[in-house]
């Protein structure tokens, strides 16, 4: 269980995250949704201790994140970084193997796990295992990032726009396989996206950030039924419009 209590981060006059309180229950995937600069990445990095909060606390299963060493908590968490997060000098397979190697898994188990994960994210192990990150497309790098985060079967997952650079068809396929992985593993964690459609599709609950502040938390149905204010309504507008266009187009296509 992840509990954020009045978590804040300021950079000089900029308040990136403003007294954010939020609880993620075990087995729950909560989506942080908001426009660019709303504080999503900063929040996620504070949960992994990559950024020190200016105020507030993070509790993991009731224990303060800062009571133990940072490495101990990082090993329990899988993290998919926004943008380029692979080690450029390591091959794809070595990138995926980083955490299992740190944890001292036997080499045969690591090798089997690497191939299993490459299959899972739809990259042929024989083709991609020994490539370097700069020999991959942006979308392929993101898939390796997801595989790496899942590698050591983490209890907690932090995902920062993991499908951001994918073309729509690939994104759709990966979202569906992600949903399967999630149900199978019962993932607990935080998933960051600026894409409300993605959140409506995949989230247990959605937490909407605006200017570093949490302005609404609820299920997709709750947000759609009663958006708390203009910023939430604005984020819901694109998926609503798409749904309307699709409904109209399919009605027009029906024989009269
Ligand atoms: N290292 C930093 N120094 C100064 N300002 C920062 C730093 N990192 C983030 N910010 C600011 O904090 C705000 C939130 O950033 P971020 O968490 O990256 O947003 P998001 O991930 O939602 O796009 C933005 O206004 C950003 O400019
Ligand atoms: Mg970000």
- Any idea what the Cα angle at residue 242 is, between residues 238 and 244, rounded to 5°? 115
**Residue whose token pair is 């729509």:** 168
- For 3, 18, 21, 81, the CA distances from 56, given in Å and listed in that order, are 11, 10, 9, 23
Q: What is the pLDDT of residue 256?
A: 61
Whether 45 is in a domain gets the answer yes
What domain count does the chain have?
1
pLDDT of residue 10: 98
Q: In the chain, pLDDT over 90 holds for what percent of residues? A: 67
Write out the residues surrounding ion ligand 2, Cβ under 5 A.
40-41, 82
| Residue 74: per-residue pLDDT | 82
Closest ligand 1 atom to Cα of 194 = 22
Indicate the pLDDT class of residue 97, thresholds 50, 70 and 90. very high
User: What sign results for the dihedral spanned by CA atoms 101, 96, 160, 239?
Assistant: negative
Q: Is residue 256 part of a domain?
A: no
User: Residue with the nearest Cα to atom 25 of ligand 1?
Assistant: 37
Q: Is residue 61 part of a domain?
A: yes
Alpha-carbon span 44 to 160, nearest angstrom: 8
- Alpha carbons 147 and 139: distance in angstroms, whole number: 13
Least confident interval from 82-91, 214-223, 230-239: 82-91
Strand partners, 60: 2, 63
* 241 domain-assigned: no
Ligand 2 centroid from CA 175, angstroms = 19
Q: What is the pLDDT of residues 171-219, one digit of tens each?
A: 888 888 888 888 887 889 999 999 999 999 999 999 999 999 999 999 9
Sorting pLDDT into bands at 50, 70 and 90, what band is 5? very high
Q: Which of 45-54, 68-77, 149-158, 177-186 has the highest mean pLDDT?
A: 45-54
| Atom of ligand 1 minimally distant from the CA of 32 | 22
Q: pLDDT digit string (tens) for 110-149?
A: 999 999 999 988 899 999 999 999 999 888 888 899 899 9
Which residues contact ligand 1 via a Cβ below 6 A? 11, 14, 16, 34, 36-42
Q: Whose CA is nearest to atom 17 of ligand 1?
A: 39
DSSP class of residue 130? T
Torsion angle in degrees (nearest 10) through CA of 58, 61, 67, 71: -90
Q: Is the pLDDT of residue 19 over 90?
A: yes
Range(s) of the domain holding residue 136: 2-220
Mean pLDDT of the chain: 92
> Between 169 and 116, where is the model more confident?
116
Query: Is 9 inside a domain boundary?
Result: yes
Determine, yes or no, domain membership for 230. Answer: no
Q: What is the CATH number of the domain that holds 73?
A: 3.40.50.300
């Amino acid at each position: 269980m992840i509990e954020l209590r009045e978590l804040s981060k300021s950079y000089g006059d900029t308040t990136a995250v403003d007294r954010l309180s939020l609880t993620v229950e075990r087995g729950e995937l909560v989506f942080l949704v908001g426009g660019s600069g709303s504080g999503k990445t900063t929040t996620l990095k504070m949960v992994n201790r990559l950024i020190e909060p200016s105020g507030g606390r993070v509790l993991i299963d009731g224990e303060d994140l800062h009571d133990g060493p940072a490495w101990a908590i990082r090993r329990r968490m899988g993290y998919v970084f926004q943008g380029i997060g692979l080690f450029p000098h390591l091959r794809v397979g070595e990138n995926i193997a980083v955490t299992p190697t740190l944890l001292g898994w036997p080499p045969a188990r690591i090798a089997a796990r690497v191939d299993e994960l490459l299959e899972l994210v739809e990259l042929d192990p024989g083709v991609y295992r020994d490539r370097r990150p700069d020999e991959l497309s942006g979308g392929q790098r993101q898939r390796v990032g997801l595989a790496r985060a899942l590698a050591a079967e983490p209890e907690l997952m932090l995902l920062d726009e993991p499908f951001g650079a994918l073309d729509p068809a690939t994104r759709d396929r990966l979202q569906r396989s992600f949903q399967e992985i999630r149900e199978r593993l019962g993932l607990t964690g935080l998933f960051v996206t600026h894409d409300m459609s993605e959140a409506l599709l995949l989230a247990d609950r959605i937490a909407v950030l605006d200017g570093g502040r949490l302005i609404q938390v609820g299920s997709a149905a709750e947000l759609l039924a009663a958006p708390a204010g203009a910023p939430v309504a604005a984020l819901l507008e694109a998926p609503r419009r798409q749904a309307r266009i699709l409904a109209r187009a399919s009605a027009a296509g029906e024989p009269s």
